[in-house]
Structure 1
C-alpha cells in the first residue's frame, strides 16, 4: 500500500469514529482548506503548519499528539516526518505554556491596576481603625469601591443585598437555619454572587417568621 493510501485510510478511520463521512465536511469542521487536507493525505506533513494539524485534530475530536501518533503508525515510510512532528509538537507546547504565562502576567497586572487605590489605602485605613474605632464606617466603605469595580468588570453581580426579604429560591438561596419551601419569604443574611447565568455562591438566607 502506498504512503498516500496509508494516510488516506487512517484519516477515513478517524473520520468515521466521529461521524464525518466526507473530506469537505471535515474541512468545514476543522476550518482548513481541501488543499491542506490533500497535502496531509499525500504525506506532505512537513509542508503543513502545526496549527493546521491542530485544527484537523480538533475536527476529529482527538488531541494533536493522538493524530500525530495515528499518522505515524499508519505510515511506515514517514519515520523522519513523525520525528519532526513530535519535535514541532513539543515546541508548540512550550510556546503555548509561555503564552499562558504571558496572559496570566497581563491579567494580574490589569487586576492590580484596578485594585491599586485599595492596595495602597486599605492597610493604612485598617491601622487607623485599630487606633481609633470611632472612625465612621462610611469612610471605609469608599475604599471598597475598587473591588466592586473589579467584580463589575468581570460581570460578577450580587444576587441580593443583605437585609432584603424575598421569595425563597433553592437554586440561588442557601438556608442557614429553619425550613422553607420555594416561594416562602426569607431574609438575606449573606449575599451571593453570579456571573451571567452561572451561580458562583448562593445567598445565605433565613426564614422570615
Structure 2
C-alpha cells in the first residue's frame, strides 16, 4: 500500500541537517508551512517543482531523492531509484525550471536597467550640476554651502557605485580632448588638445550616458 503520511521521513531528514521544527524548515527553504504540511500528508503529489527544489536544497538532498522519499509510487527493487518514467519527468521539469529561472533573471536585469534609466533622467540635473557646484564651493570655503557637500556627495557616490556608473574625469581636470567622451562648451579643439573639464560626464560599463563638458585652455 502506498504511504499516506510522510511525517516520520521528513523528521528524519530534518534531524540529519539540524532543522528542529517545521517553522525553521519553512524559513530555511523559503516555502510556506502549508506546503510542508502538504508534503507530510500527501508527499510530492501535485506540489510545484520550485517548492520541491527549495525543500531539497534545505534538506541537502537531490531532487530525485526527495521525490523518491516522498512519492507514493512503488520503487524499483533496489529501493533507491524512482521508476524510469518518473526520473525522466523530473529531468524534464528541472530543465524547464532552469529555463524559466534564466528567463526570470533576464527579465529582472531588463527591469533593473529600465529602473536605473528612468531614475537617471530624474537625477540628470543633480548628476551633471552638483560636481561643478561642489568644486566651486570648495574653492571658496567662505560659502555656507561647502558644509553640506558631504551630505549629498557621499550618498550620490554610493548610488553610482551600486549601479556601476563611473564619472568621466573630474571637474577642473586637464586632459587630452576626445570628442567621443567630451563635449566642447566653447572654442575649438582638435583631438589630443588639452582641455579642462567643466561638467563631468558619466558612463555605465561600455555605455556612454553623458559626455563631459569641456573648454579649451
TM-score by length of 2: 0.45
TM-score by length of 1: 0.46
